[in-house]
């Protein structure tokens, strides 16, 4: 479809006629012979004497060219554009960040996979998270691993295949044997600083308790609340465990309560599947549809035609004048 950006330009089409109507006509002086018996000569010949100045009128071809040239110039000034079919794109309105515990206790084999085989906790988490990410197509997802330290494994991206691959490659203790959960939340807050979405969600998965973070988990959760970040906590493993591997359920509940999130506890793979199904329902996929229609400028076409016709008309005029001059010399 063709559209003119400045359609009002076409209101200038009658402008030359207005000028022609109000401005005096151009008169060109001519050489004349004066005789005392002009009236008698006029009667004898039957011709009226011409005025001393003649109005120069162009030919129909010249007039047609000028009209066409004016219309072409106005068409170019109106800036015609070819409007293509709309292109729509879905832009995520929520950033989802996953923080996964890779401490030493994650190699405890007290979970089963889909086939019923006994596996360690991290393997079960990988399988469930892979299914969860497969349902989040179109979302922006980031990934943080934490243990004795926390680091960003994947910044926010819509390429969930990359996130799934990085999650599958995770190994127990690759971030150290301890559980610095508060530091992981602090790092998540830093990652969210580059987020421009209105809704920001952090899901923390751990099987232990904080073993000495520089920022206590509760304090980090309060900062997250002030930044409008929702924190969901997922606890896995035996709540009766002791020592550094003890599951601090109260801290996880407090973290989620402070930020308006939810607390979940999974003892097996089935529990994890139900947890992430609930999270899927709570944090439904939200996108904003942006529509764009590409435009291609076409003003150079009428402009090129105008210049081409001008060259042709000018060349034809030169050839015509030369022929007239040659004919005059021969006579």
Q: Helix count (H) and strand count (E) of the chain?
A: 10, 15
Q: Please state whether beta strands 199-206 and 229-236 pair in parallel, antiparallel, or not at all (unpaired).
A: parallel
For residue 241, the model assigns a pLDDT of: 66
Range from 13-27, 46-60, 181-195 that averages highest in pLDDT: 181-195
Q: Give this prediction's pTM.
A: 0.62
In a 13 Å sphere around the CA of 174, the CA atoms on its Cβ side amount to 15
Q: What is the maximum span of the chain, computed from C-alpha positions, in angstroms? A: 138
Q: Please state whether beta strands 295-297 and 287-292 pair in parallel, antiparallel, or not at all (unpaired).
A: unpaired
Domain ranges in the chain are 2-85+294-330, 90-290
Percent of the chain clearing pLDDT 90 (strictly above): 19
Judged by DSSP in three states, 123 sits in helix
The CA distance from 193 to 188, in Å, is: 9
Which residues does residue 96 pair with via DSSP β-bridges, in sequence order? 141, 201
Average pLDDT over all residues of the chain: 81
53 has pLDDT over 50: no
331 has pLDDT over 70: no
| pLDDT top residue among 288 and 273 | 273
For residue 163, the model assigns a pLDDT of: 92
Q: How confident is the model at residue 169 (pLDDT cuts 50, 70, 90)?
A: very high
Q: 43 and 49 in contact (C-beta within 8 Å)?
A: no
For residue 222, the model assigns a pLDDT of: 93
Q: Please state whether beta strands 94-101 and 140-146 pair in parallel, antiparallel, or not at all (unpaired).
A: parallel
Per-residue pLDDT of 303-326, as tens digits, reads: 888 888 888 888 887 887 777 676
Q: Dihedral, CA atoms, 167, 173, 179, 185, nearest 10 degrees? A: -30
Mean pLDDT across the stretch 237-261?
80
Per-residue pLDDT of 79-130, as tens digits, reads: 888 888 877 766 666 788 999 999 888 888 877 777 778 888 888 888 888 8
The CA distance from 199 to 196, in Å, is: 9
For residue 256, the model assigns a pLDDT of: 92
Pick from 39-43, 55-59, 128-132, 274-278: least confident: 55-59
For residue 291, the model assigns a pLDDT of: 66
The two structure tokens encoding residue 131: 């299914």
58 has pLDDT over 60: no
- Residue listed under structure tokens 């996979």: 113
Q: Where does residue 218 rank: exposed (0-12), middle (13-18), buried (19+ CB within 10 A)?
A: middle
CA gyration radius, the chain: 42
For residue 55, the model assigns a pLDDT of: 46
For residue 162, the model assigns a pLDDT of: 92
CATH code: domain 90-290 is 3.40.50.410
211 has pLDDT over 60: yes
Q: 152 and 187 in contact (C-beta within 8 Å)?
A: yes
The two structure tokens encoding residue 80: 């015609």
284 has pLDDT over 70: no
């Amino acid at each position: 479809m063709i559209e003119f950006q400045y359609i009002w330009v076409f209101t200038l089409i009658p402008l030359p006629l207005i000028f022609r109507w109000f401005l005096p006509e151009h008169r060109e002086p001519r050489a004349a012979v004066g005789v005392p018996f002009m009236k008698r000569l006029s009667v004898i010949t039957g011709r009226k004497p011409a005025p001393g100045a003649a109005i120069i009128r162009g030919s129909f071809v010249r007039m047609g060219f000028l009209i066409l040239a004016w219309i072409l110039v106005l068409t170019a000034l109106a800036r015609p554009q070819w409007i293509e079919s709309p292109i729509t794109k879905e832009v995520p309105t929520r950033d989802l960040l996953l923080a996964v515990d890779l401490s030493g206790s994650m190699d405890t084999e007290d979970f089963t996979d889909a086939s019923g085989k006994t596996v360690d906790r991290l393997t079960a988490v990988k399988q469930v998270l892979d299914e969860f990410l497969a349902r989040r197509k179109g979302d922006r997802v980031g990934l943080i691993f934490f243990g004795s330290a926390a680091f960003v494994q994947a910044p926010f991206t819509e390429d969930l295949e990359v996130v799934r691959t990085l999650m599958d490659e995770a190994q127990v203790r690759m971030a150290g044997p301890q559980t610095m959960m508060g530091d992981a939340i602090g790092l998540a807050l830093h990652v969210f600083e580059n987020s421009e979405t209105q809704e920001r969600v952090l899901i923390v998965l751990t099987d232990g308790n904080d073993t000495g973070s520089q920022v206590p988990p509760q304090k980090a959760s309060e900062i997250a609340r002030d930044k409008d970040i929702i924190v969901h906590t997922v606890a896995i493993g035996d709540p009766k465990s002791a020592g550094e591997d003890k599951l601090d359920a109260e801290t996880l509940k407090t973290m989620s309560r402070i930020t308006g999130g939810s607390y979940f506890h999974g003892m097996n793979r089935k529990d994890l599947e139900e947890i992430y199904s609930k999270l899927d329902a709570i944090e439904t996929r939200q996108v904003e549809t942006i529509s764009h229609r590409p435009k291609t400028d076409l003003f150079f076409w009428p402009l090129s035609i105008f210049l081409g016709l001008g060259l042709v008309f000018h060349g034809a005029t030169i050839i015509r004048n030369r022929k007239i001059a040659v004919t005059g010399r021969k006579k």
